[in-house]
Structures are given as C-alpha cells and as structure tokens.
C-alpha cells in the first residue's frame, strides 16, 4: 500500500496549505513550455513586490545578443555590495518578472544591490546559452561597477534552483577563465547532478512542487544531448574544486537535490574551500519564494541574507 504524499512529506503548516492548492510543475517539452511559462507569469503577478530605494534596467552585451538585467538598490550609495542573481525555472521558464519580489526582498534584507539576469531559455536556446549569458552579465557587473554604483571587490553570485546551478558553475568559469574574483555564492536548492541517484533523489521523487520526472525533463531540455557529466552542466563531476568563492546552500528537507548539496559541500571542503549547507526542515523546493507567508521561509531568507552581508563585508572606505 502506498503512503499518502501528505504523510511522507510533512511540511510546515503554512507551506502545506500553499502546496495543497498549487499543482506541481508539469514536465517541460517544446509543446508544453509556453503554457508553463504563462502559468508561472500569472502566479508571479500575485506575489508581493516590496518597495526598494531605486531600480534600473540595463542591457549587457552577450554572446547571443543583448542580455537584459534589472538592478534593485536597497539604499543610495556609490560603493554598494552586489549580488548577481539568476532566477530558477529549470532553465526553461520564469524571468526577471517572476522573481521580482524575491530579488527586491533580498536587496532590502542584505543591503546589496541585486542584479537580476534575463538569460536565454531552453528549449529555444540550449546549453551553454543560459550559462554564458549569466557569466557575461556577472563579469559585466564587475567591469561596470562605477556605472552601477557597486564595489567591484564585493560582488557575489546567487540564484535559486536552475539559477543556483548557473551561479555555482559561474564560480568555476571565473576560476578557469581568469575572470573576476567573486566574494560569495548564495545557492538556493541548486541542481548539481543531472544523473543523481542519491537516496533523496529517489525518496523525494514525488515531493511537492518539483517532481523528479519534471526535473529530468528540464535537464533534457537544457542539455539537448550534451554530456550530462560535463562539469559546466553538473558541477558535481568537476575534477578540481579549489579556488571557488565561499558559499551557502539553502537546502529544503524534502527536495530532490538535498543529498547532492551535501555531496557538493563535501567536495568543496575537501579541496580547502568554505561552504555551509542550511537544511530547512519541513520545506520543499522553491519555498523561499513564499517568504511573505511562511515564517520558516522568511527565517531562512534572513539567514541567507546575513551570510551574504557578512561575506561581502563593509565598505573598506568606512
């Protein structure tokens, strides 16, 4: 006899109420992606959008054309720390608009200017299009620090889900290409291993919000036949974990990716790096987006923003 989902995945009360009325993401195919994008856009329109001090839109030169970015400023200043942020959505859905509220909240809580990146999406644009766009935008933030009013020595990388995959891999790219030295990585439930068979990947295959079948369809749409062991796709297959920025991984208890997060942290620490996994009990994939309703999500976001703020440090000019 199968065990009901509600008994296998015991979510914190408010998140359980939200998940009871939100259907899990469907599998991504060329035929379904437009409808899934429309659904995510409609849901995002209902989310809160906290006030910020200012915002600015720019277009960054990229390998496939202009890359739109939006900068959220929590305060006035010309040497603010910055977080370059990649939205989630399985490399196939979501946008600057769907993550507007979360980026505004991170800016306000961390004191960082948050630069949200509109990278190209699959299946129209496959690997490594999204990655190259995000890396180009992150490097541009450092290069154009004076224009943006940020401190080039206090730029961090971050994202949620597929966006956290891009942020993690961008750390390797910066090291491998002799690029900027980023100060920190804020990674919320990142996808790190497209071929994972770790216990949580199997046990949480039917968890609320992101099911394994959907996750696999997103990996397929993004990879488009590329080697899934390519470390720029699945960073757990990297041979060298040295020289990466310090990092925090936010890991929901009932997430496909939680065992991968611990495995990744072990590899980084074995290579002499600094990384922390914040496991949040009673939560599932995507939970930070509900910070305004779920106390545990708000607490986790507070923790993440404190870690970010501590990592980028005060303005050295005082």
- Point out the catalytic residue in the list 95, 110, 116, 161: 161
> Where on the phi/psi map is residue 92: left (φ > 0), alpha (ψ -120 to 50), or beta?
alpha
Say which DSSP state 289 is in.
G
CA dist 251 and 277 (Å) reads 7
CB neighbourhood size of 29 (10 A): 13
| Contact (Cβ atoms closer than 8 angstroms) between residue 108 and residue 50 | yes
* Candidates 133, 255, 259, 260; catalytic one: 255
**185-188/247-254 β-pairing:** parallel
For residue 308, CA distances in Å to 19, 65, 98, 294, 312 come to 28, 31, 22, 21, 6
Which residues, other chains included, contact 309 with Cβ-Cβ below 8 Å and sequence gap of 6+? 81, 110, 111, 112
Whole-angstrom Cα distance, residue 130 to residue 67?
A: 10
Cis amide linkage into residue 128, ω under 30° from 0? yes
Q: Which of 95, 215, 285, 289 is catalytic?
A: 285
Which residues are paired to 160 by β-bridges?
188
95 catalytically annotated: no
Secondary structure class of 41 (helix, strand, coil): helix
Name every residue whose Cβ is closer than 8 Å to that of residue 103 and which is 6 or more positions away in sequence. 70, 72, 85, 96, 114, 116
E strands within 128-188? 150-160, 185-188
Annotation marks residue 303 as catalytic:
no
Collapse the DSSP code of 278 into the 3-class scheme (helix H, G, I; strand E, B; otherwise coil) and give the result.
strand
Active site residue 116: no
* Active-site annotation, residues: 161, 255, 285
């Amino acid at each position: 006899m199968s065990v009901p989902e509600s008994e296998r995945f015991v979510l914190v009360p408010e998140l359980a109420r939200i998940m009871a009325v939100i259907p899990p993401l469907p599998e991504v195919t060329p035929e379904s992606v437009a409808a899934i994008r429309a659904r995510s856009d409609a849901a995002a329109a209902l989310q809160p959008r906290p006030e910020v001090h200012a915002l600015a839109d720019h277009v960054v030169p990229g390998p496939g054309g202009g890359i739109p970015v939006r900068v959220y400023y929590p305060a006035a200043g010309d040497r603010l720390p910055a977080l370059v942020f990649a939205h989630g959505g399985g490399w196939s859905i979501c946008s600057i608009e769907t993550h507007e509220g979360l980026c505004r909240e991170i800016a306000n809580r961390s004191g960082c200017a948050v630069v949200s990146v509109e990278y190209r999406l699959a299946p129209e644009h496959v690997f490594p299009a999204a990655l190259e766009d995000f890396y180009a935008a992150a490097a541009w933030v450092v290069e154009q620090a004076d224009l943006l009013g940020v401190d080039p020595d206090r730029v961090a990388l971050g994202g949620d889900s597929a966006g956290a995959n891009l942020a993690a891999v961008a750390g390797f790219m910066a090291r491998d290409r002799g690029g900027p030295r980023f100060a920190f990585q804020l990674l919320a439930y990142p996808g790190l291993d497209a071929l994972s068979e770790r216990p949580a990947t199997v046990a949480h295959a039917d968890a609320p919000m992101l099911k394994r079948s959907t996750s696999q369809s997103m990996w397929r749409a993004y990879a488009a036949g590329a080697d899934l062991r390519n470390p720029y796709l699945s960073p757990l297959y990297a041979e060298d974990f040295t020289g990466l920025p310090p990092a925090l991984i936010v890991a929901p208890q009932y997430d496909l990716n939680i065992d991968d997060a611990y495995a990744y942290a072990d590899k980084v620490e074995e290579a002499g790096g600094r990384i922390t996994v914040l496991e949040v009990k009673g939560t599932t994939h995507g939970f930070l987006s509900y910070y305004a309703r779920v106390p545990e999500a708000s607490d986790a976001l507070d923790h993440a923003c404190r870690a970010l703020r501590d990592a980028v440090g005060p303005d050295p000019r005082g």
